[in-house]
Structure 1
């Protein structure tokens, strides 16, 4: 038994933990959970907890359904919102086959494989997400337009507001679970919030994002309101994204930093950006995986909709933030297209996979976008060589279907299932008759 496993077993007894929830995600990023008694945990560490993989989205076919959830003791945390009565803890799991081999359908394993590939090149991948979401006054009801909890705007400070109280409590819960928060504030839309998590390695960040979503929903419910990470819940208000800052480190050195280079950005950093841009259209189906995602990127106010990069240019898909003197480790890039509702394991994997491809193949970085891209006409964009991102889930699927990078990064099983699921989502969506169509046509036709 490892020291971490021994620590967990002792903590169960010392903290009077009666229930342990084992967490993992399906291919679409939905959180799954199975509760075990503390007495079963030692066996779970050794052998895993068996479950029917064919019942989980994208995991297995009926004839190969037996799978095991293997708890990762490094992710052990007490759940603060389950404080009444006996304590409850959680751990994330790796999904393995009966012979102990990793499941290729496990999103966490997809990311771990890509991180190992980066590790073989001497790199560690760090991420820092800025997560946006809306707070609504009640749970969603079919046919009813949701109502935000306030009418505040960007950085507004209002006394006794739902948002202020909510963020304070949510951050307290996150920090009680060992998740460090860097910033929090009201975003541009009414009821829209942003909470930024501190830099961490990509696997820890992905675990933290899944925990973050649960915490946000639990705290909202405890206050009689509803939280949603839907990319574009309102026609007239901004969408919710997850701008993600990323960097590669070689040991203690930031591989993106080069003193004296333009923007202090190294050749590795420039190649990484070139990889993201070259494969931007292919990975969009993963970073923006929902049919509603394209309402945000195409009509979302300040969401990027074209393949370009720029220094401190918030209209660009990839932004190189302003360099802070004498802070080489802070050199990073920011990918601004990512949804708050993506599967973070798969999103980080394809981002890293694209960036590594740029390094491996020595991609050239195109000219940066110096203008406000949102203000340029289609003709001006074409003259500058700036191409549009997919305008719909359907477009994103068509691009992804022929992507070798996506197939290699996700693995055959996840790649196949993910695209099949997205095709069905698009078919279901386009077959629906919307209230817009009825409102426009019934009175006159």
Structure 2
């Protein structure tokens, strides 16, 4: 243990020296709370070695913060007592291209005795990744991040009004080249900043809603994928500020319009071979991949409380909007909650699955960890997939959906939280402390907005993510 600590100190000192040579003066240490908000403690770069050795103090109460900065309580967490230590992941320390003089690192949380904090979402994601590895399985995950960009109003008036005017800097049609022309400098700077920071961008393009764009990043280890999406969001936010713009990743920017998703892509491998590319298997899925995806599909009602954690999420989850609101799967079907992507025939790594329902209000560490837990439970219970859905389930009549066994996923946060509360596999995987904290935040969010109209919910949450 002593030699490991000495090695960490030496590595941190070398990092601090490198950062100083690059002109970095401060390091932002981030974690994501159960409401999906990225919280931060910052340190001078020269304090990096001390932080790596002893951590940075923080209160455990952040686990029961809601998206509007109110504080609730669970059975195990809440109130002014206690202290945790934030430890930066030195392997992920990154100089921030759009914030000169700053670097970033995701942090793990421990108690004062050096034991893992049971509600640390990043360590939950790591535990689930290791649980899969113990079964001989490798997960490669990646996110599609959608956001809406508007011009920042003069004087930056306090947002949150339902009648707040939104000034879009581009007026071109959905997916149109006009938007790229209108914001070419902005999109170039986003792409360049991500590249400089080591993020492998696969695509960046206009999306459907006014002022909406999407960036897709390369898949990787689940914890790294969650780190990457945090870095992507904050980089987009920083580049936007430098262009006089504001970026919103909220599930519903304007009630009644298409919202922002944050789709999670998942590929399953054994011994480096994709389990989505079995030539003699139905849909190309090896038995383990079928059972894994069957477990995810079965758990989707409970997983919505993880991946769609805000009342605003359910403004976005509307039928026939490519949001995946029915509990079904399909081959290349963008209306299915679980979409099987076959990929190009000559691409051995092309096959994987996409969860359409999730949005950027979700804590990405919770999202990847919970999906892995659900999939592993599917393998353990020999879950199966029903026949794939073709076409839009929303276009079918009620009787036809019932005949096919297609049911609506939870339409409210309360319903999703109820399903999470009753999910024994997710309860076991998350542990009592984390599971209880997540539920406490979900109940508080739903209660806070219980009497609010859709427009008010969208306005109140528009700039929280």
TM-score (norm 1): 0.91
1:429 paired to 2:449: yes
Cα distance in 2 between the residues matched to 1:291 and 1:329: 36
Note the alpha carbon deviations across 1:137-180, whole angstroms, 9 max, x for none: 23535232434332323320117744433221111111111111
Conserved 8 A contact 2:302-2:423: yes
**Residues 14 and 229 of structure 1, relative CA distance in 2, 3 Å threshold:** same
- SS of 1:118's partner is helix
Note the alpha carbon deviations across 1:263-306, whole angstroms, 9 max, x for none: 32211111111101111111111111110111111257221111
The one of 96, 100, 111 equivalent to 1:79 is 96
Note the alpha carbon deviations across 1:91-148, whole angstroms, 9 max, x for none: 1111001111111111111111111111111122111211111112235352324343
TM-fit CA distance, 1:244: 1.9
1:210 paired to 2:227: no
**Residues 433 and 256 of structure 1, relative CA distance in 2, 3 Å threshold:** closer
Cα distance in 2 between the residues matched to 1:162 and 1:226: 16
Gaps of 5+ in 2: 1-6, 66-75, 154-158, 457-465
- SS of 2:302's partner is helix
- SS of 1:80's partner is coil
1:65 paired to 2:101: no
1:357 paired to 2:377: yes
**Residues 222 and 109 of structure 1, relative CA distance in 2, 3 Å threshold:** same
Cα distance in 1 between the residues matched to 2:216 and 2:11: 28
The root-mean-square deviation of aligned C-alpha atoms, in Å, is 2.2
Cα distance in 2 between the residues matched to 1:102 and 1:125: 23
Name 2:53's counterpart in structure 1.
46
Name 2:4's counterpart in structure 1.
none
TM-fit CA distance, 1:64: 5.2
Aligned pair count reads: 433
Mean Cα deviation higher: 99-108 or 412-421: 412-421
TM-fit CA distance, 1:383: 0.9
Name 2:72's counterpart in structure 1.
none
Mean Cα deviation higher: 247-256 or 286-295: 247-256
Name 2:288's counterpart in structure 1.
268
Instruction: State how 1:323-338 maps to structure 2 within 5 Å.
Output: 323-338=343-358
Cα distance in 2 between the residues matched to 1:109 and 1:225: 34
Conserved 8 A contact 1:125-1:202: yes
Name 1:151's counterpart in structure 2.
171
Cα distance in 2 between the residues matched to 1:299 and 1:308: 13
The one of 88, 95, 98 equivalent to 2:102 is 88
Gaps of 5+ in 1: 437-445
Cα distance in 1 between the residues matched to 2:299 and 2:61: 32
Mean Cα deviation higher: 327-336 or 140-149: 140-149
Cα distance in 2 between the residues matched to 1:159 and 1:399: 41
Conserved 8 A contact 1:277-1:308: yes
Instruction: State how 1:226-305 maps to structure 2 within 5 Å.
Output: 226-298=246-318, 301-305=321-325
TM-fit CA distance, 1:359: 0.9
Cα distance in 1 between the residues matched to 2:337 and 2:88: 37
1:109 paired to 2:123: yes
TM-score (norm 2): 0.87
Mean Cα deviation higher: 427-436 or 114-123: 427-436
Mean Cα deviation higher: 61-70 or 120-129: 61-70
Mean Cα deviation higher: 341-350 or 292-301: 292-301
Name 1:373's counterpart in structure 2.
393
TM-fit CA distance, 1:63: 7.1
The one of 178, 183, 191 equivalent to 1:171 is 191
Cα distance in 1 between the residues matched to 2:309 and 2:183: 28
Cα distance in 2 between the residues matched to 1:45 and 1:433: 46
Cα distance in 2 between the residues matched to 1:160 and 1:23: 31
**Residues 18 and 323 of structure 1, relative CA distance in 2, 3 Å threshold:** closer
Cα distance in 2 between the residues matched to 1:415 and 1:201: 23
Mean Cα deviation higher: 426-435 or 119-128: 426-435
Cα distance in 2 between the residues matched to 1:195 and 1:154: 15
**Residues 160 and 245 of structure 1, relative CA distance in 2, 3 Å threshold:** closer
Name 2:144's counterpart in structure 1.
130
Conserved 8 A contact 2:267-2:351: yes
Cα distance in 2 between the residues matched to 1:235 and 1:387: 24
